[in-house]
A and B are shown apart, each in its own frame.
Chain A
Amino acid sequence: KAGVTQTPRYLIKTRGQQVTLSCSPISGHRSVSWYQQTPGQGLQFLFEYFSETQRNKGNFPGRFSGRQFSNSRSEMNVSTLELGDSALYLCASSLEAGYQPQHFGDGTRLSIL
Chain B
Amino acid sequence: DQQVKQNSPSLSVQEGRISILNCDYTNSMFDYFLWYKKYPAEGPTFLISISSIKDKNEDGRFTVFLNKSAKHLSLHIVPSQPGDSAVYFCAASSTSGTYKYIFGTGTRLKVLA
Report which A residues bind B (CB closer than 8 A).
4, 6, 31, 33, 35, 40-45, 48, 50, 55-56, 58, 90, 92, 97-99, 101-107
Closest-CB distance, A72 to chain B (whole angstroms) = 16
Q: Which residue of B lies closest to A103 (CB)?
A: B46
- What residues of B have a CB within 8 angstroms of the CB of A4 in the complex? 43
Report which B residues bind A (CB closer than 8 A).
6, 32, 34, 36, 41-46, 49, 51, 89, 91, 95, 98-106
- What residues of A have a CB within 8 angstroms of the CB of B89 in the complex? 42-43
Q: How far is the CA of A104 from the CA of B91 in the complex (A)?
A: 13
Closest-CB distance, A39 to chain B (whole angstroms) = 10
Can you identify 12 A-B contacts, CB atoms within 8 angstroms? A4-B43, A40-B105, A42-B89, A43-B103, A45-B100, A55-B98, A56-B99, A97-B95, A97-B99, A98-B95, A99-B51, A104-B44
Q: Which residue of B lies closest to A42 (CB)?
A: B105
Contact of B106 among A42, A104, A106 (CB under 8 A): A42
Q: Please determine whether A106 and B104 come into contact, CB atoms closer than 8 angstroms.
A: no
Q: Please determine whether A42 and B98 come into contact, CB atoms closer than 8 angstroms.
A: no
Closest-CB distance, A102 to chain B (whole angstroms) = 6
Contact of B99 among A35, A55, A101 (CB under 8 A): A55
Q: Please determine whether B34 and A101 come into contact, CB atoms closer than 8 angstroms.
A: yes
Q: How far is the CA of A61 from the CA of B75 in the complex (A)?
A: 34
Q: Please determine whether B105 and A33 come into contact, CB atoms closer than 8 angstroms.
A: no
